[in-house]
Amino acid sequence: DQQVKQNSPSLSVQEGRISILNCDYTNSMFDYFLWYKKYPAEGPTFLISISSIKDKNEDGRFTVFLNKSAKHLSLHIVPSQPGDSAVYFCAASARNYGQNFVFGPGTRLSVLP
C-alpha cells in the first residue's frame, strides 16, 4: 500500500523550460512534505519543504505547491538547468502524530541542453 506516489518514473525537459514533478498521497493525516534530490552515488539532499498550513513555498528556482483537497503536491523548477538532472523524491509525514517520513518511489528528471 503506497501512501506516497510519484506516478511518473521519468521526465525529460529542455534546458530553460519549466519542470513539474508531481506527487500524490493517500493519508489525510500527512501534514508536512519534503522534496529531496538525489544524484547517482550520493545520498538524497533536502530541497524544499511545505507545511499543510500553506499552499505554496518558494525557494529560488524551486516552488512547491500543495493541494490538500486533492492530496497532491508538485515541485516546479524554473528555469530548468542541466545540473537539475537527478532523481527527485517526495516525502510526507504526519508530524502532529509523530509519524516518520514516507518516501515516494522517485522521478528521474533529465534536463536536456
Partner 1 sequence: DSGVTQTPKHLITATGQRVTLRCSPRSGDLSVYWYQQSLDQGLQFLIQYYNGEERAKGNILERFSAQQFPDLHSELNLSSLELGDSALYFCASSVITTGELFFGEGSRLTVL
Instruction: Give the span between the Cα atoms of 6 and 66, in whole angstroms.
Output: 14
- DSSP letters, 2-20, are -SEE---SEEEEETTS-EE
Return the DSSP state at 60: T
Instruction: Kindly determine how many residues on this chain lie close enough to bind partner 1 according to the rule CB under 8 A.
Output: 23
| CB of residue 42 to partner 1, shortest distance in Å | 6
- Give, as ranges, the residues between 20 and 59 that touch partner 1 (CB under 8 A): 32, 34, 36, 41-46, 49
Q: What sign results for the dihedral spanned by CA atoms 35, 46, 57, 69?
A: positive
Taking CB under 8 A as the rule, which mask of x and - marks residues 89-108 in contact with partner 1? x-x-x-x--xxxxxxxxx--
The residues of the shown chain that bind partner 1, judged by CB under 8 A, are 32, 34, 36, 41-46, 49, 89, 91, 93, 95, 98-106
